[in-house]
Amino acid sequence: MVFTMVKLNEEMKNAFSKVKIFPVATASREGVPNVVPIGFCQIVDDETIWIADNFMAKSLANLEENSNVAIYVWGPDTGGCFQIKGETEIISSGEKFEEMKAIVHTAKPGLPAKNLIEVRVTEVFQCAPGPDAGKKLL
């Protein structure tokens, strides 16, 4: 399947920057869902998000079978909420991986930073209740 990347706008990036823990959802090839709280999730550019795999087990197994991911963005200071969907690549060596590892180890030296999950943003949906709930934003 070919995905078209979309660019997060300034409002979305600002809301994202205010979130401390991100619920990240994956699913197995058979569609069995899994959602976990992720603390190391950051925007790299308008189309790319990095997730650090410190303790992923089911999520990593799911991403190896099904590279789709959903990230829920909400917090008391975000001014709303939305869901980012994307296509992932698991990176366990190279320049990007080493950069992510350095970021994680600077913030929390004891964390393993086992893999970099690079998310290419493909869609964004409204999550706030009301008539536009579920509306595709990008």
Q: What's residue 5's pLDDT?
A: 85
Look at residue 38 and give its three-state secondary structure: strand
User: Domains of the chain by range and CATH?
Assistant: 10-126 (2.30.110.10)
Please give the average per-residue pLDDT across 48-56, as a whole number. 97
Answer positive or negative: Cα dihedral of 5, 10, 11, 16.
positive
The mean pLDDT of the chain is 95
End-to-end Cα separation, the chain, in angstroms? 19
pLDDT band of 13, cuts 50, 70, 90: very high
**How many other CB atoms sit within 10 Å of the CB of residue 19?**
19
Between CA 85 and CA 98 the distance in angstroms is: 25
Residue 43 DSSP code: E
pLDDT band of 1, cuts 50, 70, 90: low
Residue 119 DSSP code: E
The model carries a pTM of 0.94
